[in-house]
């Protein structure tokens, strides 16, 4: 499978999803970048703008097993990872898989569950496995977490700790549709669910091959240096209390490889890094309190870092 063929296959997925998910082309591209790069994506949004439809239509287009977990304060870690239950018929404990045992999981309103429940995702996101009662179970391959949190309603929520935020390759927002797009949504979704007629256009086997191809995308030494300079600049910025970690910078490189592949290239360019930096780095920053009082946010800091860091010529 060459790079042009890969890009064409991904475009088929985009076109398929865009039939029913209207006005979210950038969010879809970022989800595909995360999926191809074997990363996880955090969507910060308000209810009712299509996050479940986006995730489920992507899964169906790729033939992936899909599950949605509605996070609430009473959701337990065992609901996610699974648990052992004694079976008197066979006289032994048997493992009952949790909702995480799937290809694509939507962790809806993740910040409404307790920190203990949130932390149950850490091992799955980092190592693609879960451990229950000392026994480790591998997760299906491919595996991806798409999590959402409400940016407006903070009552009854538990902010994600830095360790968990750092596991997400990409953080982005869904946007409201414009008037024309919203009219199309009314027309498309007014009858039978359009998901019922959505066809698989890319097999799991093809997706795994694309993920492996993304690993081999070439990165010039000058671009490694560029990412390191951006990362270091985040730590030196006067408004930043905690800058980008090496893991965060590595995820930016991996995401840039995925974007290059989606565009039919086997090498990354500075534009890949510049486009993805706000989505891959901003959520990893912790700002000083005076920055927040001055209405300076993480995205503004990333823009500042991109502006002052020299761009490699080749």
Whether pLDDT at 186 is above 80: yes
Which has the closest alpha carbon to 41: 142, 201, 173, 163? 173
Of 85-89, 194-198, 275-279, highest mean pLDDT: 275-279
Percentage, residues of the chain above pLDDT 70:
97
Q: Average model confidence (pLDDT) for the chain?
A: 91
User: What pTM did the predictor assign?
Assistant: 0.93
Q: How far does Cα 287 stand from its chain's mean position?
A: 23
pLDDT value at 299 more than 90: yes
Please, is 200 exposed, middle or buried when counting C-beta atoms within 10 Å of its C-beta (0-12, 13-18, 19+)? middle
CA torsion sign for 1, 226, 147, 15 is negative
- Least confident piece of the model among 52-56, 61-65, 134-138: 52-56
Contact 137, 129 (CB under 8 A): yes
For residue 142, cis peptide bond before it (omega within 30 degrees of 0): yes
Position 192 pLDDT exceeds 80: no
Which secondary structure element, helix H or strand E, spans residue 106, and what is its range? Answer: strand 104-108
Per-residue confidence (pLDDT) for residue 198, from 0 to 100? 87
In 168-220, which ranges are continuous DSSP H helix? Answer: 179-188, 204-215
Scored b (16 or more CB within 10 A) or e, 157-172 reads bbebeeebbbbbbbbb
Angle at 46 between CA 16 and CA 55, to 5 degrees: 25
Side-chain-side CA neighbours of 218 within 13 Å: the count stands at 9
The pLDDT of residue 154 is 64
Over residues 59-80, mean pLDDT? 93
Kindly state the average pLDDT of the residues 22-36.
94
Give the pLDDT mean for 189-210: 86
Domains of the chain: 3-188 (3.40.50.300), 217-308 (1.10.8.80)
- pLDDT at 170 (0 to 100): 98
Q: At residue 185, does pLDDT exceed 90?
A: no
Q: What is the pLDDT of residue 155?
A: 66
Q: CA 281 to CA 287: how far, in whole Å? A: 13
């Amino acid at each position: 499978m060459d790079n042009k063929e890969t890009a064409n296959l991904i475009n088929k997925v985009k076109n398929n999803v865009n039939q029913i998910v209207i006005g979210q082309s950038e969010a879809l591209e970022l989800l595909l970048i995360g999926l191809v790069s074997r990363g996880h994506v955090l969507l910060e949004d308000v209810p009712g703008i299509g996050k479940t439809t986006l995730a489920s239509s992507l899964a169906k287009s790729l033939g992936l097993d899909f599950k949605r977990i509605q996070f609430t304060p009473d959701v337990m870690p065992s609901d996610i990872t699974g648990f052992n239950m004694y079976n008197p018929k066979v006289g032994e404990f048997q493992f009952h898989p949790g909702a995480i045992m799937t290809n694509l999981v939507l962790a809806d309103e993740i910040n409404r569950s307790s920190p203990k429940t949130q932390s149950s995702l850490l091992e799955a996101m980092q190592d693609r496995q879960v451990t229950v009662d000392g026994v480790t179970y591998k997760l299906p391959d491919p595996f991806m977490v798409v999590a959402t949190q409400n940016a407006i309603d903070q009552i009854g929520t538990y902010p994600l700790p830095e360790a968990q935020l750092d596991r997400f390759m990409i953080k982005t927002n869904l946007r409201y549709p414009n008037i024309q797009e919203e009219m199309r949504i009314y027309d498309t979704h007014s009858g039978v669910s359009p998901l019922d007629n959505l066809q698989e256009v890319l097999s799991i086997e093809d997706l795994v091959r694309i993920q492996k191809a993304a690993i081999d995308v070439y990165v010039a030494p000058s671009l490694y240096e560029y990412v390191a300079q951006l990362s270091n600049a985040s730590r030196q910025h006067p408004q930043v209390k905690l800058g980008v970690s090496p893991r965060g910078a590595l995820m930016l490189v991996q995401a840039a490889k995925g974007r290059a592949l989606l565009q039919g290239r086997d090498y990354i360019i500075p534009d890949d890094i510049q486009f993805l930096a706000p989505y891959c780095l901003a959520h990893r920053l912790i700002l000083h309190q005076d920055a927040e009082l001055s209405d300076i946010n993480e995205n503004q800091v990333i823009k500042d870092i991109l502006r002052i860091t020299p761009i490699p010529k080749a």
